[in-house]
């Protein structure tokens, strides 16, 4: 069983998103869903017993290897120093919140430097665009949702909550 648990752990680490047992079966090459399910339950328990910084979370029958909430601040600090600068993050947040949104509206709100942000985000495949008249229609891609580990409606609700908190303070 340890070999199966090791395979599951390797897949969860590498894939970095929620996966169900069917997909795990394909990715690990394990045909027996019963053995896979038993190994997953055992692996989840192993992580609960460990005093480490990682955990396996389950959401509607899908599993993901995650950093425990107590240690998220470390990764947030690291991510702030890499990937995107703050203005690009803000442009991405605007696109995610208003999507689908016209590029002309993003530029009006964020200024001309947003053209560079949009270009970078498209190159990194976090957003997609399609021609719409004299401008482009922007929206987030599946890579965006996998990378940030959010669901579309859940993200919109979180962004609305943040906006409402800022208005009340």
What is the distance between the alpha carbons of residues 155 and 163, in angstroms, rounded to a whole number? 12
**Residue 67 in contact with residue 53, Cβ under 8 Å?**
yes
Domain of residue 23, CATH code:
1.10.10.10
136-166, pLDDT tens digit by residue?
999 998 888 777 766 666 666 666 666 666 6
**Residue 147 in contact with residue 96, Cβ under 8 Å?**
no
Same domain, 61 and 88: no
Residue 129 lies in a domain: yes
Give start and end residues of each alpha helix (H) in 29-151.
33-49, 72-80, 86-98, 103-110, 114-123, 142-148
In the chain, the percentage of residues whose pLDDT exceeds 70 is 82
Answering whether pTM is above 0.85, one says: no
| pLDDT score recorded for residue 134 | 92
Look up the domain containing 158 and give its range: 83-168
Residue 16 lies in a domain: yes
Tokens of 67: 């950093």
Last residue of a domain, one of 46, 71, 96: 71
43 exposure class (CB count in 10 Å sphere: 0-12, 13-18, 19+): buried
């Amino acid at each position: 069983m340890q070999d199966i648990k090791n395979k599951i752990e390797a897949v969860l680490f590498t894939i970095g998103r929620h996966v169900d047992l069917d997909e795990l079966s394909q990715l690990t090459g394990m045909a027996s869903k019963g053995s896979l399910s038993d190994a997953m339950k055992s692996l989840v328990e192993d992580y609960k017993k460990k005093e480490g910084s990682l955990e396996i979370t389950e959401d509607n029958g899908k599993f993901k290897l995650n950093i425990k909430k107590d240690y998220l601040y470390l990764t947030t600090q690291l991510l702030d120093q890499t990937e995107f600068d703050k203005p690009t993050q803000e442009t991405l947040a605007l696109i995610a919140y208003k999507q689908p949104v016209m590029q002309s509206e993003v530029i009006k709100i964020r200024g001309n430097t947003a053209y560079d942000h949009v270009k970078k985000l498209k190159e990194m495949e976090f957003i997609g665009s399609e021609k719409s008249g004299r401008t482009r229609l922007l929206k987030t891609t599946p890579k965006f949702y996998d990378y940030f580990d959010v669901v579309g409606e859940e993200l919109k609700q979180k962004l609305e909550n943040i906006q409402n908190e800022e208005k009340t303070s």
